[in-house]
Structure 1
Amino acid sequence: MDAALGLGAFSHGTQKETRKHVALLSFQSLGVVYGRISTAPLYVFQMILTEEFISDQTVYEFFSFIFWTLTIISLLKYAFIVLRADDDGEGGPFALYSLLCRHAKVGLLPCDRSADEVMHLDETPEKKSKRDSRARRALQKYKICHYVMLILALFGACMIINDGVFTPAISDVPVPSACAIQIVLFTLQHYGTHKIGFLFAPIITIWLLFISGMGLYNIIHWNPKILYAISPTYMYRFIRNIDRNSWRSLSSILLCIGGSEAMFADLGHFSKKSIKITFASFVCPALILSYAGQSAFISKNWGRRVTDFNHLGKSIPEHARHVFVFLSLFASAVGSQALITASFSIINQCLALGCFPRLKVVHTSEKIHGQVYIPDVNWVLMALSLSVTIGFQSIQRIGYSAAVAVVCGMLVTTCLMSLVIALYWERSLVLSAFFLISFGFIEAMYLSACLWNFHKGAWYLVVLSVLFLTIMLAWHYGTMQKYEFDLQNKVSIEWLTDFGPGLGISRVPGIGFIHTDIISGIPAFFSHFITNLPAFHQVLIFVSFKPLPLPYVSADQRYLIGRVGHKDYKIYRCIVRYGYCDGLGDTNDFEEQIIGSIGEFISLEESDIESLTSPEGRLIAIRTPNEDEKALLSVNSTDSLICPAVSPSKETLAGPSRGIPVKRKKVRFTLPSMSPKMTASARDELQELVDARESGMTYFLGQSHLMVRDGSNILKRMLIAVYVFLDKNSREPPLALDIPHVALVEVGMVYTI
């Protein structure tokens, strides 16, 4: 079982990366991760009002802020500290929250303790050695801390998604052209990070080389002394003479680090080493040269009646300006890619943690599990971004909104990261507080500057944040309430087996698959079904699908099989474990695998004396046997599958009618020839399993109808109403996607919350 933690064909941090692989990922990251921060020179100085340039010393002060903000926030905080806090190769605020949930037990996710024991997520010595500090005990004790952390993580996720809405809209080109560029950009997303990286990386590479080269030219040609502005004394002079207007201009300076959060949020698409090396050795130096060159130009031209002197294009020599126009057009289009892919990563994490409605997630890489594309999210982002472009029609107003999203997302990361330092890395509280105060003070300063421009466009950010937060909180709350209801209303196996023929209960031929989220006891919806329709199948299999924080789970560790009750009942439990990149396959495929795994379990159980007296809950990981050692042999054929059903009931049921055949591919099972390793009782049980399989398969799914108790407050009613709406309009559970309607029984049940 311990091997389950190390499974997978590729996993960040577990497989040593070759130089060739790092170089490849570094090149691709230029087109995906660094598009936003690389195009910031187009509008950072441009968004500062021209009347704020009152002397060449003002330019020195602005450049000093840019240099130190890039160095402290982007390079030190993100590239060298935050990137180390990945969650199995995933980044973003939800990755930090996931680490805290697992290692500090402060999560509010619907999680049964028995599920944690079965999944063996806390078996490694590193995780067992976490000491019970005072801070850990305090966080675990007070429930309010749990809620604050969850809302903080959700808020941070919303800010990254909001940034993914505003960033594509920031452009100097006319509105019709900007809209056309956005449509093309979002249409290309389905090709995946791998292809987009190769397509966009050359553009960003040439762009960075061009603006850094022009920056070096401007430094030499206009004002080499601009490099003196690296001294932090210029920031002190700015703050000493601060007023309302100059303080407001800091919100424009903040945009120079817009996209830094994408370095962490896009981590799942690449690797820590590739992102760190690319930024430290190429992106950051190129940006500093570009800003220094533009500052050198402005310092000598701000008072010479040069119109629009704070635009980057004005600092480009005349003979190279046509190249700049061409490159800036393409770079602006590519600049949004970092936040679009970050939005996909963040929402994929929300889906895994039960905080977002079910959506189709396309894994675009077989090697890197974090490279995902979510079609529905892609088109929603495009629609919202187009609405911003058409509605605002001003780069300043869009930039002010983006600045608020940037700094709020960074503050969330700072808060969660300080907890990770104390609770996961187990460093001193002094170090954790130092991280929080140092970086939090800088980001709070920029947030205060952004709030002066709140009325100029940031109000739309509030609207989007309320929308996304409502969706996330409602889905999380509804999912948690459903899970708790299932745990509280599950029944024991004795309840099911105590029914007998004398009470009118009959067992019909065939196999019944019951899909449930709980891993012990009988789910409430199935007991509800039995109560109203007193019959169940000759063989019952309770199936639970459980994701692991791994890219792949090998076939030898995918299926956990155990019994429910005495072996005469012919009731089994199967937990199917899968990673981020594992496809569940079609119905026939996992049906064949589960039945084959149960056959191996029956064969192995005879030689395991302990299992005969084990209580419910003991499961065995079934390894794939050799062809000559299989307990059941499979033979492919095409036949009509007749799903046995019972009479319809007054309850809300949607299922097959007796005797209705459906043509589909069917795998037949046969027993191997007599083997001395297999006892007679095992062969008899295997033969019963084969006979039941030949009689047909029926799949049971719970169809919940949530209702709020009388007297509940308006907030609870609103959250449940939103959840019900989202549940009706979201993707079906994985098990239901490929099941023929004739073989599906949906059991409707009212959940009173």
Structure 2
Amino acid sequence: MSNHKDLHKLSAAGFLISLGIIYGDIGTSPLYVFKAIVGQRQISETLILGGVSLIFWTLTLQTTLKYVVITLRADNKGEGGIFSLFSLVRRKAKWLIVPAVVGGCALLADGIITPPITISSAIEGLQTYYPHLPTVYVVMAIITALFIIQQFGTSLVGKAFGPIMFVWFTMMGFLGITYIVHDPWVIRSLNPYYAIKLLTSSSSDGAFIILGAVFLCTTGAEALYSDLGHCGKANIRVSWVYVKICLILNYLGQAVWLLQRNGHVMDLNAQNPFYQIMPTWFLIYGIGIATVAAIIASQALISGSFTLIAEAVRLNLWPKVRINYPSEQKGQLYVPSVNWLLWAGCLGVVLIFKHSDKMEAAYGLSITVAMLMTTILVSKFLKRKKVPNYIINTFLAVYLLIEGTFLTGNLHKFLDGGWFTLSIGFILFTVMWTWHTARKIRNRYVKFVEIEDYFDIITELSHDESVPKYASQLVYLTSANFNSEIESKIVYSILQKQPKRADVYWLVHVDVVDEPYKREYEVDHLVPNKLIRIDFKLGFRVEQQINLLFRKVVEDLVKKGEVDITSTYKSLNRHKIVGDFRFVVIEKIFSRSHNLSFIERFIMDYYKQLKKVSLSEERGFGLDLSFVTVEKVPLVLAIPEAIEIHRVN
């Protein structure tokens, strides 16, 4: 843990790690941005200088100002990302769940198109040497290998990421300089005048298409915030200065190469400006480094998707899925179901679009949506921090205008392929929204009773030797937020559905809190040494291993003499043998739902299907299945109809 904290301080190690983890996506954008801006257009000074100007000011306003300066302030105990941000502001208004879920789904959809476009753009450089190379199969093989290694953890590979990305950025900056020296006056393009000139001289359609292409230069900005927990603010801010300088130098170098071809219409798929500014002897090395950088960019996005899903599960926005922890490194996790879904999605992108220029058409639309959602949530965070209203309103006006313009510029991509990522995002949204809403509908029908009314009868049952003992220690998971109440179904399970005699009854409640790594608990002795309630307060990034956590709490209580868990069977008690523990999980089965509205019925039907593919409650809470009893009880969603029947004898 101390190691992790050290990386948050400004250091050479933290600087390198931030280069390796954070900047893969934004750092590989020079592979395809200028290619997308120029497209099939005739090269002109207005187009090239305006293109560089737009790139520079997009990186400055969007990445530097919005993310590096403003959004990084919204750290949740050192953690970042859209769900961390949502956890900070969700108490402000219930509707904030909408931008959080939409943004999360858009980021996941982006994770499906980033690996194909970055790896394809890098591999297509080989066509300079081998014009007939079937790049589609090479890209598919690399993507498949990348997803196969996820299950083994990437901590070893991760250590190499930083130095490799340092080489990548330094190489890009140096290659840019080798061309800038031929035309140093290209630096005038940083003047916003050229950006405005390009947009005003183009037709409205043309201007929006150019903006859609320019937006590709900032697509990785969301990752800066998402990976805040790995590197810390100071390292991200310092490393971004270096990254931005290298990126701008490379774009300026590409601009010089393009200006040397003023008046031509280039086939930029055959002559990618990124590779054209490399010396011929260096090209094969450059392609190799670009491919590794593209794989690193993809890796960062895959890891980000795993973290996003794990947070969504803990915040009850996603079905419970198996989450593995392949290494000891903090934050390292692997979600098998998401891994193979992403793999299938990435291969789908490669097979549908085949070439990186076609993928460019699909890229950027969903990430614009994610950025707009972050803007809304950040404005609420600034309000919470008591920032003056005029500053918040200015922030909102500026970024809703910038991102709204980019969204409009990207809308033309819908028919060219944007439909693919938006469709994926929409499917993910329906899953998250259904899981969240169905839980609220379900909770409406869970009946709670005053627990105090049952203290005496539970104590009597515990001492009633005419009832066979069910377990020495009997543990129930409860969703009751207050220790004064309990679900009526738990009372029914203890007293009526095969009365369960035990020496001690335990009630365990898990509350997911807004702090990412909080691990706290409270103990309430409702009936001393007979009925005990434990409330766990776990952060939304903490693995819910209730089995282990509960055992640790019981050990502490025994040490302090607050509870005796020695078996009461005479033969075992004499030898001080600990009694057995049994968990009872109550699974609510739906019945009769005709008093729900049509939409609610549809949501509950969809929820039932999702339940079939999700982990059971006991697995989701990490319980040892050999000590678990699952009891199915009906969750009545309607008052039973009054039935009349007449006796005739």
Category of TM-score, reference length = shorter chain:
0.7 to 0.9
Among 161, 167, 188, which residue is 1:206 paired with?
A: 167
The aligned counterpart of 1:489 is: 448
Displacement of 1:642: 13
Task: Tell me what 1:118 maps to.
Answer: none
Give me the whole-angstrom Cα distance separating, in 1, the residues matched to 2:113 and 2:7: 37
**1:330: which partner in 2?**
292
Q: 1:25 aligns with which of 14, 31, 44?
A: 14
Equivalent positions of 1:267-282 (< 5 A) are 267-280=228-241, 282=242
1:539 CA drift (Å): 1.9
Deviation for aligned residue 1:551: 6.4
- Structure 1 residue 553 displacement after superposition: 5.8
> Is contact 1:708–1:752 with CA below 8 Å preserved after alignment?
yes
CA contact (8 A) 2:257 2:273 kept: no
Provide the C-alpha distance between the structure 1 equivalents of 2:266 and 2:358, rounded to a whole number of angstroms: 24
Structure 2 partner of 1:687: none
For 1:32-181, what aligned pairs fall within 5 Å after superposition?
32-102=21-91, 104=92, 106=93, 146-147=94-95, 149-170=96-117, 171-172=120-121, 173=123, 174-181=135-142
C-alpha spacing 1:47/1:240, structure 2 compared with 1 (3 Å)? closer
- Gap change, CA 1:718 and 1:428, over 3 Å in 2: same
CA RMSD of aligned residues (A): 3.1
Q: Distance in 2 between matches of 1:465 and 1:507?
A: 55
The structure-2 alpha-carbon separation of the partners of 1:451 and 1:581, relative to structure 1 and needing over 3 Å to count, comes to: closer
- Among 417, 439, 453, the residue aligned to 2:378: 417
| 2:198 is equivalent to residue 238 of structure 1 | yes
Distance in 1, matches of 2:194 and 2:615, equals 55
State how far apart, in whole Å, the 2-side matches of 1:553 and 1:669 are. Answer: 37
**1:446 and 2:330 matched:** no
* 2:422 counterpart of 1:457: no
The answer on whether the counterparts of 1:209 and 1:286 sit within 8 Å (CA) in structure 2 is yes
How far apart, CA to CA, are the structure 2 residues paired with 1:483 and 1:670? 46
Return 201-210 or 150-159, whichever deviates more: 201-210
2:647 match: none
Within the candidate set 575, 583, 588, 1:704 is matched to 588
Partner of 1:653: none
Specify the SS of the correspondent of 2:305. helix
Match of 1:615 in 2: none
Q: TM-score, normalised by structure 2?
A: 0.86
The change in CA–CA distance for 1:578 and 1:237 in structure 2 (over 3 A counts) is closer
For the residue of structure 2 that corresponds to 1:701, the secondary structure is: strand
Give, in whole Å, the separation in 2 of the partners of 1:505 and 1:523.
Answer: 26
In structure 2, the residue matched to 1:360 is: 322
Structure 2 gap ranges (5+)? 124-134, 638-649
Whether 1:511 aligns to 2:396 is: no
Q: State the Cα distance separating 1:163 from its structure 2 match.
A: 0.8
Percent of counterpart pairs with the same letter?
25
Structure 2 match to 1:596? 555
Amino acid at match of 1:262: A
1:531 to 496, 499, 517: 496
AA paired with 1:158?
A: C
User: Secondary structure at the residue paired with 2:496?
Assistant: helix
The residue type equivalent to 1:472 in the other structure is M
1:738 to partner: Cα distance: 4.4
TM-score normalised per structure 1: 0.75
Q: C-alpha separation between the residues in 2 aligned to 1:214 and 1:231?
A: 22
The 8 Å contact of residues 94 and 346 in structure 1, kept in 2 or not, is answered as yes
Q: Counterpart amino acid of 2:108?
A: I
Which amino acid is 1:47 matched to?
Answer: A
Instruction: Decide whether the 8 Å contact of 1:586 with 1:738 is kept in 2.
Output: yes
1:262 equivalent in structure 2: 223
Aligned residues: 609
Q: 1:187 pairs with 148, 160, 163, which one? A: 148
| SS of residue in 1 equivalent to 2:198 | helix
Label 1:25 to 1:506 Cα distance change in 2 as closer, same or farther (>3 A): farther
Q: Which residue of 2 aligns with 1:137?
A: none
Aligned to 2:646: none
1:464-488 deviations in whole A, cap 9, x for unaligned? 12210111011112223334444x4
Aligned residue in 2 for 1:376: 337
Secondary structure in 2 matching 1:359? coil
Q: Alpha-carbon deviations, 1:355-405, whole Å to 9, x = none? A: 11112333466564x343323212211111111111221323322322102
Identify which range, 536-545 or 91-100, moves more after superposition.
536-545
Cα separation, 1, equivalents of 2:385 and 2:4: 21
Write out aligned runs for 1:465-476 (5 A).
465-476=425-436
* Deviation sequence 1:116-151 (CA, Å, 0-9, x none): xxxxxxxxxxxxxxxxxxxxxxxxxxxxxx23x211
Contact 2:46–2:197 (Cα < 8 Å) also in 1: no
The 1:462–1:642 alpha-carbon spacing in structure 2 relative to 1, beyond 3 Å, is farther
- Tell me which residue corresponds to 2:346: 385
Deviation at 1:215, TM superposition (A): 0.5
Distance 1:176 1:723, change over 3 A: same
* 1:16 shift after superposition: 9.3
1:55 and 1:359 map into 2 onto residues whose CA distance is 53
